[in-house]
């Protein structure tokens, strides 16, 4: 990209889909700003990508569950003299203990990390992208956001639905500005996600291997979609069938389907 080097900020880049997106973007010549709470894996990834692809990679640790974290992150980026041309809102986690048993602080953190942070980061960074006539915003939502509910993990699906709708609205608003906005809606993906929420054993025994995708493939599909300016992409044929069913079935049947799913995972 010569003198027009562009920089992509990726949240939740210390593991899983975020780290995979960092590998995809570095492979395509983008400079990166990687953020998450754990510094060790971010630094290791930064060194690897710099060596492998010759791109410039900055690491800034942040806890996006803290109020004001997005603004502090943007200020830290500006203080380093960096500008952000692309934003990947990827950091996320879930709690599968049911609404009543989940610590209210965990609910607040889910909302801050997966909903408030993407909104605030987008609002802070999109004006610069629009003014420069080039931008990429990739919001990592979920197949769960296309389902009528996520039983036992009550807020997760609605948060991801929000992200899909907000992405579609932004896609409309940014047409013709050079800014592309996409919601990426993965199904089951091999990452640390199910270790963090403690459901690795249940999901591994309840769902066959063909329902799972690897994070690198999901990341490639997601980045290709934002480059192509698609408002939403669901990776994998099986996930597309499930997403279509989720939208077509009447509530009674759809809730039966997701209720059965939640029971198989011991969430109801």
Ligand X SMILES: NC(=O)c1ccc[n+]([C@@H]2O[C@H](COP(=O)([O-])OP(=O)(O)OC[C@H]3O[C@@H](n4cnc5c(N)ncnc54)[C@H](OP(=O)(O)O)[C@@H]3O)[C@@H](O)[C@H]2O)c1
List contacts with ligand X (CB under 6 A): 12-18, 36-38, 62-65, 90-93, 113-114, 140, 142, 186, 188-189, 191-193, 196
Give the span between the Cα atoms of 74 and 60, in whole angstroms.
10
Residues facing residue 61 across a β-bridge: none
Burial of 221 (0-12, 13-18, 19+ CB in 10 A): middle
User: Do residues 180 and 229 touch, judged by C-beta distance below 8 A?
Assistant: yes
**Phi and psi angles of residue 62, each rounded to the nearest 5 degrees, phi first:** -150, 145
- In this chain, which residue has its C-beta nearest to ligand X? 16
User: At closest approach, how far in Å is the CB of 231 from ligand X?
Assistant: 17
* Shortest separation between residue 143's beta carbon and ligand X, angstroms: 6
Helix axes 237-248, 251-264, angle to 10 degrees: 130
Q: For residue 232, which phi and psi values (nearest 5 degrees)?
A: -150, 140
**How many whole angstroms separate alpha carbon 158 and alpha carbon 156?**
6
C-beta of 127 vs 183, nearer to ligand X: 183
Q: 132 vs 217, which CB is nearer to ligand X?
A: 217
148-to-108, 152, 155, 158, 254 alpha-carbon distances in Å: 22, 13, 12, 9, 7
- Residue 233 dihedral angles phi and psi, to the nearest 5°: -140, 135
Is residue 207 part of the annotated active site? The answer reads no
Rounded CA separation 34/8 (Å): 8
- Minimum distance between the CB of residue 213 and ligand X, rounded to whole angstroms? 8
Nearer to ligand X, 49 or 114 (CB): 114
**Residue whose CB is less far from ligand X, 127 or 198:** 198
- Asked if residue 106 lies in contact with residue 95, where contact means CB atoms within 8 angstroms, the answer is yes
Copy the structure tokens of residue 250.
């009447």
For the annotated catalytic residues, the residue numbers are 156
């Amino acid at each position: 990209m010569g003198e027009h080097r562009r920089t992509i900020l990726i949240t939740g880049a210390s593991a899983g889909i975020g780290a995979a997106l960092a590998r995809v973007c570095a492979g395509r010549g983008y400079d990166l700003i990687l953020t998450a709470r754990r510094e060790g894996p971010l630094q290791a990834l930064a060194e690897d990508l710099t060596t492998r692809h010759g791109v410039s990679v900055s690491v800034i640790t942040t806890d996006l569950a803290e109020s004001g974290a997005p603004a502090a992150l943007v200020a830290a980026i500006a203080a380093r003299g960096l500008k952000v041309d692309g934003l990947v809102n990827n950091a996320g986690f879930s709690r599968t203990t049911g609404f009543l048993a989940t610590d209210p602080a965990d609910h607040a953190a889910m909302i801050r990390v997966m909903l408030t942070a993407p909104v605030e980061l987008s609002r802070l960074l999109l004006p610069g992208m629009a003014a420069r006539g080039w931008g990429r915003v990739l919001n990592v939502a979920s197949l769960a956001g296309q389902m009528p509910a996520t039983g036992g993990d009550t807020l997760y699906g609605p948060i991801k639905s929000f992200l899909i709708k907000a992405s579609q609205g932004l896609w409309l608003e940014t047409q013709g500005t050079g800014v592309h906005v996409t919601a990426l809606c993965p199904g089951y993906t091999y990452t640390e996600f199910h270790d963090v929420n403690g459901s690795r054993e249940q999901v591994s025994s309840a769902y066959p291997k063909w329902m799972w995708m690897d994070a690198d493939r999901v990341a490639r599909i997601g980045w290709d979609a934002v480059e192509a300016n698609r408002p939403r992409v669901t990776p994998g044929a099986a996930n597309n069938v499930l997403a279509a069913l989720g939208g077509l079935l009447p509530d009674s049947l759809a809730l039966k389907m997701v209720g059965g799913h939640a029971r198989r995972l011991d969430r109801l």
